[in-house]
Structure 1
Amino acid sequence: MKYFLWLLVSVALAGSISSCRSTKRIQTAISKKDTAAVVPVVDAKADSMRFIHEIYQAIERNRIDFNTFSAKLKVDFSGDEGKKRDFTAVLRIKKDSAIWVSITALLGIEAFRIMVTPDSVKVLNKLDKVIQLRSVSYLQELAKVPFTFQELQALLIGNPVFLDSNIVSYRKNEKTISLLSATDIFKHLLTVSTDDYRLLHSKLDDVDVLRARTCNIVYGDYVNKNALLFPTYRGITVSEKTKVDIVMQFKQVDFNVDLTFPFNIPRNYKRQ
């Protein structure tokens, strides 16, 4: 299912900094005045560098470590042409090895099954009896960024994506701390809470102003599962020539249980 694959990879390019619950509020988060290029920040020198290092280490300590992960997802997808799609899915992950997704259609019938590994992408279309076999570079073709299995895994688990220690400045207020990092491709503004350093908002702006490529990820509705803080809500807006809004809600979250990853290709399926 191209839309689900596109969803998985494009959101990893990164609102408000709260647990938003509507597409309208997510769209507000990408106004031009909020771009990373114009955020007022404090120059990161001397004591500021020490503060930045401490916050970076705190974010790293919050990183979710796991062996396996499973959840059910409800996904709402809204495209630039006003087309809206929603579906439910079962997600299973084996750390650094496999991401398995089963998408359910009407009447509880499985419509698609997806398997992503560090070097391949497989999509089983059970409705049309078609199998797509691609290299993992297919993710990068869809997202148009240097995207890997690890970024996709981090996004789904709730860990920061494209977190870079090359932090050039920060902004702090009573409730939030924002860190601005820069690469040759993106400026990344990552916002965390001041009390427990949980992820609240990730925003990426393309350094090429002619592309005007921006992505926002909002994290919210945290639950404590097996002593791990997990955000059950993700609100995503991806904007370039067109704009896409995505809401992902996780339920029945579980870590480190025995899982299977069945992916059998019937002989009568056509390769595409």
Structure 2
Amino acid sequence: MFFIVSCKTTRKTTTPVVEQQPPKVAVKPVYKIQQPDYNWFSSRMDATVINTATNKEMVKLAVFMVNRKDSILYVNASKMGIELARIVLTPDSIKFINHLNSTYYIGNYTAVYQLLRISLTFDMLQSLLLNRDFTDFENDFNVYKQNENTLLIDTNRKQNHSRLSINQSILLNENDRIIKNHIIHTYTSDTLTANYSDFFNVTTLYRTPKIIDINLQRQKMRLILSFKDPKINVPGPTYFKIPSKYTFILQK
């Protein structure tokens, strides 16, 4: 809303006084992005990792993911029916087993940065995988229409109760679902872009993308996830047990 202030002064002459308007400023309304409504989400998927510098496939894995909303994220990765790794994430911890070299890790989210070279919280990871907006950041975007789509931009979006801030642009389709999420970390310039496509209905009330295409610019890495037979509100396994002969990985 704009407030127009004008001042008129009475003069003896008959010359009309022109009303002066203050310059317009950008309006940042709170914009409601479609957020998936669920308690549990699980799906099998194909995961392909590509080196963007050479455009060559690095690895292709079968992945099974379970998410209990805002609580736990469970992922196991296998190849030719043999489990290679398992990871369980909670809002404040990470547990990881690597069956290839018989090692494990239990600790905080420093491991995410060491692995991906970009700082991501549990909420950010969950949101990127579930086609959601980040829930613990300010919701104060500049809004632009692009034909049927809507572009939301905040060049300094701050995380609540934290010093973390990002330069973020979100592209929504005509149903206000995220089809592109572009993130640049303010302090490190690390850049992540997630594209979502081939939306379909899992239930009459739950719609999800079939393909998530994530690009990590500095890491020269692209991760393509293709979902198969996702299920909503069906509790899934989150089992995690460390074999006694496995060795703990120390953070560097």
Give the TM-score, by structure 2 length: 0.76
Match of 1:249? Answer: 226
Q: What amino acid does structure 1 have at the position aligned with 2:50?
A: S
Contact 2:118 2:190 in 1 (8 A): no
The number of equivalent residue pairs is 215
2:95 counterpart SS class: strand
- 1:231 pairs with 2:203: no
Could you tell me how far 1:204 is from its partner in structure 2? 2.1
Aligned to 2:139: 165
- 1:28 paired residue number: none
Query: Matched residues in 2 for 1:145 and 1:89: separation?
Result: 22
Instruction: Give the secondary-structure state (helix, strand or coil) at the position aligned to 1:156.
Output: helix
**Runs of 4 or more consecutive aligned structure 1 residues displaced over 6 Å after TM superposition:** none
The correspondence for 1:75, drawn from 26, 40, 47, is 47
What's the % identity of the aligned pairs? 23
CA distance in 2, matches of 1:120, 1:206: 22
1:50-104 alpha-carbon deviations (Å, 9 max, x no partner): xx43xx12x1xx2112211110111111125535211111111122222111111
1:101-180 correspondence to structure 2 within 5 Å:
101-106=75-80, 108-143=81-116, 146-161=119-134, 164-167=138-141, 169-180=142-153
Deviation at 1:212, TM superposition (A): 5.1
Residue aligning to 2:244 = 267
- Secondary structure at 1:71's aligned position in 2? strand
Q: Report the RMSD for the aligned CA atoms in angstroms.
A: 2.4
Which letter maps to 1:126? Answer: H
CA 1:75 to 1:122, structure 2 compared with 1: closer, same or farther past 3 Å? same
Partner of 2:168: 188
The unaligned stretches of length 5 or more in structure 2 are 1-23, 159-164
| Greater percentage in helix | 1
Alpha-carbon distance between aligned partners in 1 of 2:210 and 2:25, rounded to the nearest angstrom: 34
Which residue does 1:199 correspond to in 2? 178
Structure number with greater Rg is 2
**C-alpha separation in 2, matches of 1:43 and 1:170:** 13
Gaps of 5+ in 1: 1-41
